[in-house]
Structure 1
Amino acid sequence: MKIFYAIVFFLLAEVLRANTSSFIPATFSAEFDHVQKSTLSGREKIDPGSLKYRYPSNIRFEFLGKNKITFVSNPKTSWYYTAPVIKGEAGSLSQENTTKSGPVKFFDILKNGLSNNSNYSVIAENGHYVLQLNDALKKEMGIAKAILVFAEGKSDFSNIKSIELNYVNKNPVTLKFKSITKDVTLADSNFSFEAPTNTLINH
């Protein structure tokens, strides 16, 4: 009988593991609009962008609006590059050890799926899910909650319409996805950054 219960427990654990690990793919790329309301004017600022992610803790954000910004991070190093607005001026690059916070940590913990877990609680409401982060993650990441909105149909990762990140100390940011491609091949070179010429580097 003990062997029977052990087998049942193992099978249940495998089912739960599959359900939680299948929500966010091991790799994906996406195109999106980054939407944030201005604190001064109250108007929405919209910038197009792209995203590449590979679990765990590998991410590349590129914001392609007037102010071009690239954020790249792997488990060891993170880079934040701001391109010059005027041609001929110097760009700016910050490089530091990865702290696994912000967007890197957020996509990593999404491996837990759309059910309550040790990192966040989940409330489902009319096609969207509110992920309320625990106090430790709020402090670490600066994110209080995230709202995932899905297109009609399945609540799977490729069907996400938008993710709204509600920060503790600044206005919410919404990523409105135009496309999501799962299980893409992403080389290590996607998650490292080489400074262009004429760049001021801050370590």
Structure 2
Amino acid sequence: MNDLPLAVLIAALLVCMLVSGFFSGSETGLMTLNRYRLRHRAQQGERGARMAQDLLRRPDRLIGLILLLNNVAQALIPMLLMAITLRATGDAETAIVVATAATALLIFVFSESMPKTLGALHPERIAIPAAYVYWPLLRVLGWFIDIVNIVGNRVLRMFGVTPEDAAQHSLSVEELRTVVAEAGAMIPQRHQKMLLSILDLEHSTVEDIMVP
């Protein structure tokens, strides 16, 4: 690596930071997607939504893939920074200190904090395009991810948790009431009252509904 030109090292560092930021932001975006909106978009025939829905059926495989690729990208960052600072300073001890501090700062800001904040604020804009990347990658590396996840899944099952639990996202009546009440301008107030009245039907008696 020390034989590479400085411009190549800097370009490789920028690429690794962008790739790591993509993995971090898309992970947050996929995990925070509204499952019901995603299901609606998938039923409308949107290919990206269908792929994202398919990925989220097994979140353990998806997270394993993202962590694997993100760890590779983040592992290269300190190596590249070490080579760059060593080339700039010429002193190994100074290069170690500068590279360590720069690695912590760059990864925290540009590879974790900023991308994850963006993914949380705009999950659909980040997650749907990312599904086009992860879907084929998981088809290629899925066998390796499955081997790695076997141990983790067995440990989770000891605590009563299975990957299939992620597919069970049902709302109770009270949760549906909260969704309707907080819909705001998306549902007119008159329609909100109608929907809330439908949810209250189970508490009504025949005498409440019948007209003499």
Find the structure with the greater CA-based Rg. Answer: 2
Q: Which has the higher helix share?
A: 2
- State the TM bucket, normalised to the shorter chain: under 0.3
Which of the pair has the greater relative contact order for Cα pairs under 8 Å at 6+ separation?
Answer: 2
Relative to the length of structure 2, the TM-score reads: 0.22
Relative to the length of structure 1, the TM-score reads: 0.23
Q: Which has the higher strand share?
A: 1
